[in-house]
Amino acid sequence: MKNNNKKVIVHLAKKQYDAEKKRCLILTGAVAFAVMTLFCVFSFASGKIETDMLREARERGVVSNTSLERATEGQYEQIKKLPYIKDVGRCVRFGDTLGTRCTVIDGTAWEQIKKPAFTDIHGNYPQEKTEVMLPMRALKAVGITDPQVGMELSLPISFFNEKNGEGDYDFVLSGYYTEYIATAFYGLPDTYFSQAFLDSLDDGQLDLTLYMRQNDRIDGRTVENDLYQDIEMRDVSQQFLGFDTAENVAFFTLAGGFDTVLILAFVILASAGLLIYNVLHISFDRNIREYGLLKTIGTTGKQLWGIVFCQLRTIVFWGSLVGALAGVLIAVMVMPLLLSKMYLYRFGSAAGMITFRPLLLAVSVLFSAIVTWVSSALAIRRTVKLTPIEAVTYREKAAGSTHRKSMAGKVSLPQMAWLNIMRFKKRFFISAACLSMGLIVSLGVVMISRGSDTRNEIEYDHPDVRVTTKISADMYEEFNPHLLFPDTLRDHIQ
């Protein structure tokens, strides 16, 4: 008749857990630290990437990366069918008002390309002929600091077409928004009008601009080359303007590219795994004799596995719970404030950013649990293989014991220290690997923090001294280089 020893196994596991609470708390702390570290590090990295993407989009005023001016309807239809283009938006500009550009865009351009780059959006995009949507910058310029949707206002419009000239028009405010466009690089913000208002103007044929969102893995130069091959241009002066996607820029700003991010992720995971393995390895070495005593009274290998895994369930549960709570608290309370102050200064807040990502938390908990179970399985496997006598009399074998005996009385203090370190080579190399991984992670953090410092970008874009010339290559021989840089000037610079 088969015995049911489940209650006995649970009882033994509980007694051993209570008798060695300090050891179990250390194991629980290792699991909690691994879960919290993995979740916080990857949450911060993904939050930093998302922050850089937001900053890039808000600075440009669009989330698209490629544009085509003076586009035709045929080109628009062709581009919509391209597999590497996700969205295509239409844009027409016909004048200026209040320091902004008078613009009409379609639904795709507003919802997918323009709207994600703005904050504090109130109301809706204009649909009726007399409706208008303005940026807060323009409203403040005319003294309106507390706008209300539905209020009436008069706008002076200067049309590009000289036939329409200039005039004042009465509108109803259908909405307003806040933008952060760097006007020195990306032009003025837009005041949005309805298609019905544009159709009512006798403005002739206006130029159509297409905004395109490409695949995030394609850089600006590649998408330009592909578009030139796939789309027929109307003339030699028409050109595509392609830039790297915000995601590409964010990954490059964070760590230099996708490959570096993957390497750092592997190092971080390996560090957390080695930490848990090292703690469990040392812990189980101290309990082998106890398991040997259990084997002498008839405990089978399967029952030893049951005792160990019963304890591990408690350790993994509480470690994961504590680590998850600490990680969530940091991700929800600390990280948005930190990211906003460090990387979104004058570009809005990160309040709408998702800093708590359940998938990252689940991966962190799952990875830590798997490493704990595997490490425990490797340790208990060695115990199961030992005979009861070997387990009771177990003592970790020290490497090179014969050599040390022959050197007795001849060893200096540094040699004694080295020999003591090398007594247990496996433990030494695992500890050294943990320290090396920690050093690599620390260097990676320093590299990322320095690379993310916006002062580097300012210093790169705004040098103290800039020496340029308008001389082309075919004109170089007509000039004496010593006249451009006299010896006295060069000596002074040196």
pLDDT tens column, 278-309: 777 777 766 666 777 777 777 777 777 777 77
Q: Structure tokens of 315?
A: 């350790």
pLDDT tens column, 475-486: 444 444 445 556
Query: What's the pLDDT at 477?
Result: 44
Nearest Cα to 13, choosing from 439, 350, 307, 413?
Answer: 307
By residue count, the chain amounts to: 494
> Which residue(s) pair with 169 in the sheet?
155
pLDDT of 265 higher than 50: yes
Q: Structure tokens of 137?
A: 């910058």
Q: Which amino acid is at 429?
A: F
Q: Structure tokens of 149?
A: 């949707």
Query: What's the pLDDT at 134?
Result: 94
The string of DSSP codes covering 249-305 is HHHHHHHSSHHHHHHHHHHHHHHHHHHHHHHHHHHHHTTHHHHHHHHHTT--HHHHH
Distance CA 359, CA 238 (A): 45
Q: Structure tokens of 169?
A: 């028009």
Helix (H, G, I), strand (E, B) or coil at 324: helix
Q: Are 357 and 39 spatial neighbours (Cβ–Cβ below 8 Å)? A: no
Helix (H, G, I), strand (E, B) or coil at 89: strand
Helix (H, G, I), strand (E, B) or coil at 159: strand
Distance CA 147, CA 123 (A): 11
| Helices within 64-194 (DSSP H only) | 73-80, 107-108, 136-141, 183-186
- Highest-confidence range of 240-244, 261-265, 283-287, 390-394, by mean pLDDT? 240-244
Query: What's the pLDDT at 79?
Result: 92
Q: Are 75 and 231 spatial neighbours (Cβ–Cβ below 8 Å)? A: yes
Distance CA 430, CA 273 (A): 11
- Report percent pLDDT > 90 for the chain: 16
Q: Is the dihedral of CA 473, 475, 481, 483 positive or negative?
A: negative
300 versus 257: the higher-pLDDT residue is 300
- Highest-confidence range of 221-225, 252-256, 439-443, by mean pLDDT? 221-225
Q: Quote the distance between the C-alpha of residue 80 and its chain's center.
A: 29
Q: Quote the distance between the C-alpha of residue 452 and its chain's center.
A: 12
DSSP 398: P
Q: Vertex 329, ends 280 and 309: CA angle to 5°?
A: 25
228 versus 350: the higher-pLDDT residue is 228
Strands, E assignment, 113-263: 119-123, 131-135, 152-159, 166-178, 190-193, 208-214, 240-242
pLDDT band at 224 (very low <50, low <70, confident <90, very high): confident
Q: Quote the distance between the C-alpha of residue 29 and its chain's center.
A: 27
Distance CA 132, CA 175 (A): 7
Tell me which residue has tokens 């160990």.
Answer: 308
| Helices within 344-412 (DSSP H only) | 358-385, 388-392, 401-406
The mean pLDDT value of the chain amounts to 76
Distance CA 386, CA 393 (A): 10
pLDDT tens column, 71-105: 998 999 999 999 989 899 999 999 999 889 999 99
Q: Are 156 and 191 spatial neighbours (Cβ–Cβ below 8 Å)? A: no
Distance CA 337, CA 343 (A): 10
pLDDT tens column, 375-400: 777 777 776 666 666 665 655 554 45
Distance CA 394, CA 285 (A): 9
270 versus 131: the higher-pLDDT residue is 131
Distance CA 394, CA 386 (A): 9
| Distance spanning both ends of the chain, measured CA to CA | 95
Distance CA 227, CA 440 (A): 42
> Which residue(s) pair with 241 in the sheet?
67
Strands, E assignment, 215-260: 240-242
Q: Are 110 and 119 spatial neighbours (Cβ–Cβ below 8 Å)? A: no
Query: What's the pLDDT at 127?
Result: 93
Q: Structure tokens of 167?
A: 């005039």
Query: What's the pLDDT at 139?
Result: 92
Find the radius of gyration of the CA atoms of the chain.
34
pLDDT band at 344 (very low <50, low <70, confident <90, very high): low
Q: Are 123 and 176 spatial neighbours (Cβ–Cβ below 8 Å)? A: yes
